[in-house]
A and B are shown apart, each in its own frame.
Chain A
């Protein structure tokens, strides 16, 4: 299956908001409300930030929010902080119990 499409980079100044998009198809993002987002700092394992499109695990700041429209999901980080600088990956359930990931977006806090 094809990977989901994310922009390779995004940036914002401290305190600003930034939105990262993730585009798939009707066979993954568009067909199921099972989109998740992960934050990965260099040399570390991914950390779950959003699941089931909009839900936040315990301990994840409410500055992080998720949404979906059609075949595109989005992650918004509000009130950017220096520690938000990391790689972000989207993921979705796909047809036949498959899992697909996006190529990743490097978020830079200017």
Chain B
């Protein structure tokens, strides 16, 4: 049974970089066909896919965020991470890390972490 847990600052200043880490337990981030992703949800609004990283190291990004986002894998710590730069208030959201299976569905999710962008 996989368990995912997000961690990182809950408050980020405008124009700075949002950095989050997802720690995976109950399985390896580098297993065959294991893919991982970040999804966010602004307060009171719907879900938005941000990025995916594949076990072979490739990445995919939401075209609307691609210029500001980096997703990476740290197999030594069994973690994957998200960096979103030049943040504004519009980036305030609950950020979830999750699995991404073939076909794009996510069967395991972290509990989510609220990141507020404010000075």
Residues of A at the B interface (CB closer than 8 Å) are 1, 3, 32-34, 36, 38, 45-48, 51-52, 57, 89, 91-93, 96-104
Across-interface contacts of B60 in A (CB, < 8 A): 96-98
Across the interface, which residues of A come within 8 angstroms of B101, CB to CB? 51
Residue of B64, B101, B104 most packed against chain A (CB within 10 A): B104
Q: Which residues of B contact A34 (CB under 8 A)?
A: 103-105
Q: How far is the CB of B117 from chain A (nearest CB, A)?
A: 21
B60 CB to closest chain A CB, in angstroms? 4
Does B62 contact A93, Cβ atoms closer than 8 Å? no
State whether the Cβ of B47 lies closer than 8 Å to any Cβ in chain A: yes
Q: Is B46 an interface residue (CB 8 A)?
A: yes
**Contact present for B47 and A46 (CB under 8 Å):** yes
B48 and A91 contacting across the interface, CB-CB below 8 Å = no
Chain A residues contacting B104 (CB-CB under 8 Å) are: 34, 36, 91-93, 99
**Is B112 a contact of A101 with CB atoms below 8 Å?**
no
